[in-house]
Amino acid sequence: MGKFSEEPTLTNGSIERIGDGVLIGVRLVSRSVTEIYDHRLRVFGITAAQFILLSLINRRPITRADIARLQHLERSTLTRNLKIILSRGWVEEVRDNADGRSRPIALTEAGKELLRKAEPEWRTAEIEATALLGTDGMMIIVSVADHILHPTDLAGRAAENDGSATLANDAPVNPAD
């Protein structure tokens, strides 16, 4: 059997800095913020992920493909959460506007009522999440999310500003990134 080495397996000490990396930091923030929302919404029998879906569907009937694209969701994750909110009667498939290839999903009256009842707890969770992140941290996260959802808007703003772009809230962006 080979001898165990305590030497890092990556060069330049990179293995020792993995805990300081973007991925670990983003996942920690995501889990921490999600737990705040999950805690506040639990009394309504809903998770933060399901609340987001209901909020998105509340805007207008929307197809599964559009939801997945807008939320950057894997099919299995979307299917799991949709199955729950469909079975609880908070959303339904709309057949009268369907084009035969897709069936848009719309909020039911029960889903609208759930959103109305849960909104105060969602607002409280927003305050708690902002307190955790700080106002600047929250604004940066919202700006990054806006950039991910609307990358062409950012490119358009860069062209209008001689190549220097800004995210939402005028956070500067390095166009070389």
Give the confidence band of 164 by pLDDT, cuts at 50, 70, 90. very low
- Cβ count within 10 A of residue 56: 16
**Within-domain flag for 114:** yes
Residue 159 within any structural domain of the chain: no
145 belongs to a structural domain: no
Encode pLDDT of 36-50 as tens digits.
999 999 999 999 999
> Which residues touch 50 (CB under 8 Å, ≥6 apart)?
81, 84, 85
Decide if 85 is inside a domain: yes
Q: Quick: pLDDT tens for 103-137.
A: 899 999 999 999 999 999 999 999 999 999 999 99
Using CA atoms, how far apart are residues 51 and 60, in angstroms rounded to an integer? 15
Q: Which residue has better confidence, 15 or 85?
A: 85
- In a 13 Å sphere around the CA of 172, the CA atoms on its Cβ side amount to 4
Domain of 119 in residue numbering reads as 21-133
Residue 166: inside a domain, yes or no?
Answer: no
Contact 110, 89 (CB under 8 A): yes
Q: Give how many domains the chain has, as a whole number.
A: 1
Rg (CA), the chain: 21
CATH of the domain at 82: 1.10.10.10
Are 155 and 135 within 8 A, CB to CB?
no
Let me know if residue 140 belongs to a domain. no
Residue 1 lies in a domain: no
- On whether residue 37 sits in a domain, the answer given is yes
pTM: 0.71
HEC string of 135-152 equals: HHHHHHHHHHHHHHHCHH
Alpha-carbon torsion, ordered 31, 37, 42, 48, to 10 deg: -80
